[in-house]
A and B are shown apart, each in its own frame.
Chain A
């Protein structure tokens, strides 16, 4: 086992009883998970809620985590997949979101300004027009295609890791990618000017 993985394994074991160790894991993976959700949903508010749900679920279930030589991030992505699906399906069940807690009076002091941060992030998103086109089209695909395409191209995951995350054999993942891309292309061609988009 390489040193980095061994360190991570040890940190995870500690995190099962020590919240500070979980804090280290959170620090390490927050940006990656948050940005993946953001790239997938294209919506800042949804990304904030789903990221919160994902890390809450991870914290609640860290004691169930079993080391299998795969990075902790793969487990987080697995949770993230479920939370994303659940977030968009459930209407009645409340998400453990910061917004909800803030509405309940939770608003700790911070040197950062949340409102300014949101405005800056919204501006940044608008600069990526082609991603927005793809993101909108991907979100219309069936979930199985959306999962593999976003993991491959928005999170840069390899086939093996995607297979672990979505719980399907590698061959199935490849086939889903192939079919999903074909559908995506058709959808983009239908809704956009192909001459400029695929130039």
Chain B
């Protein structure tokens, strides 16, 4: 008989179950595109929120717009001044963006000289600050930038270098194509020299298209990706519109502040969450008697709290009982509590703030019930030793008011002894003890037969020793030798 017989057949069934495995390439592809479109759309928002102060992001956005509006005007003014000073003119003719993860944009004159270069994200700002690139020819700049990106670890074998060229001030499309080709060739050559197999893409964008992307908050290089993903302009607009709608519904957590404390004799849970403009604050503390306290802060605490808060769905029209029930369920609080305190401030300025104490006797009664549930087994103590030539099994089980102690040892000839403790031992023992159904009035043969069968001891045994104290204070205690069936000890007592 197997020791886990209670669940063995269902376990075996599940382990050997023929499970379906389906492949959904169409769903996968669509979902990936949708995630991509969403990601591209929210990138700027997220970056502002998480990584850079709002103002920096605003400056970056302004700088981007300056590419289209301010720089050409300034350059025209500069050109006029230069003409007056008999210097050669430098006219902004095209804009070029290059994106790996770092995003860099540059303005070129009609001689392919880079007259302005700037990073458009944190990594891009870092890249352009490493070397003085303005005034150099496009091919030199691209070579330097890709080398820096490689050194900084941004260029990996599976990276894509996405470039776009767009016109400024009614440029010649042929010239823009030539710039795009030159850029692609230069980067490709440099990557080959660096022994990197990254992909290089370069596209020419019309001024209208550039303006459209800017309006959507997309970088031109993002558009390369969207084109590669076969998304049309209309599709991009549709998906972004829909996602904005669903995201607003799904993302808006209605709690500006959430503070909770639940306490019992053995456990304590404290959770605090505050929604701030530039990031959420969170703190969680879980104390459990006899165990190390768990304290979570910031990201860790948010990871724990957000899924719960998202599901909590509290509102001020709920009764205290409903709130307590919902909170206790979602925070996984098991058993009674002595103190429950909650403070919630909603985005609409309404609030919940109350404290309740469970009546001492209620808590005590609940604990008693818990204990009864735990001690449903009729054994207060169960000790067993079965021994054969090759094997020895020792079992030690004890139920006290403050918990259950369990240990199982198996010694097998020529093998390292195996020992199970606490929950592992319980997992092994509980199913066996539950079905053992011993009582003090049974005769020894009956007891031995049941024990041997329940513990799946199939081979002949030399000696069996058992001590059982039942919950009703009766007991069993004897040693049994199997070889000649002689009893060596007979102090079985039925109280």
Contacts and interface: CB of A to CB of B under 8 A. Distances in A.
A121 B20 CA distance: 9
A72 interface: no
B239 interface: yes
Contacts of A106: 34, 235, 238-239, 242
Given A14-B101, A110-B29, A153 B14 contact: yes
Contacts of A149: 14
Interface in B296-349: 299-300, 302-304, 306-307, 310-311, 332
Contacts of B234: 105
A193 interface: no
A128 B423 CA distance: 35
A117 interface: yes
A100 B250 CA distance: 14
Contacts of B21: 31, 35
Contacts of A78: 307
Interface in A77-106: 78-79, 82, 85-86, 89, 93-94, 96, 98, 100-101, 104-106
A83 B250 CA distance: 12
Nearest to A22: B39
A94 B10 contact: no
Contact of B19 (A30, A79, A100, A131): A131
A38 B20 contact: yes
B84 interface: no
Contact of A175 (B24, B40, B427): B427
Interface in B241-262: 241-243, 246-247, 249-251
B299 A64 contact: yes
A67 B35 CA distance: 22
Interface stretch (B43-51, B109-117, B167-175, B389-397): B43-51
B123 interface: yes
Interface residues of B, number: 78
Residue from A52, A104, A117, A178 with most neighbouring chain B CB atoms (10 Å) = A178
Interface string B30-68: 111111101110110011001100000000000000000
Chain A's interface: helix, strand, loop or mixed, by majority?
A: helix
Contact of A110 (B26, B160, B299, B307): B26
Interface string A129-158: 011001000000000000001001110000
A82 B332 CA distance: 13
Nearest to A83: B307
Given A38-B22, A82-B311, A108-B230, A59 B39 contact: yes
Given A23-B32, A86-B310, A178-B427, A100 B22 contact: no
A24 B160 CA distance: 13
Contacts of B250: 93-94, 96
Given A93-B250, A108-B229, A182 B158 contact: no
A153 B422 CA distance: 24
Nearest to A107: B235
Contact of A184 (B10, B19, B26): B10
Nearest to A101: B242
Given A35-B22, A117-B24, A174-B424, 7 more contacts: A19-B43, A93-B250, A98-B31, A105-B235, A108-B232, A117-B26, A168-B332
11 contacts: A34-B22, A38-B22, A51-B31, A52-B31, A66-B299, A78-B307, A98-B27, A101-B243, A110-B29, A113-B26, A170-B423
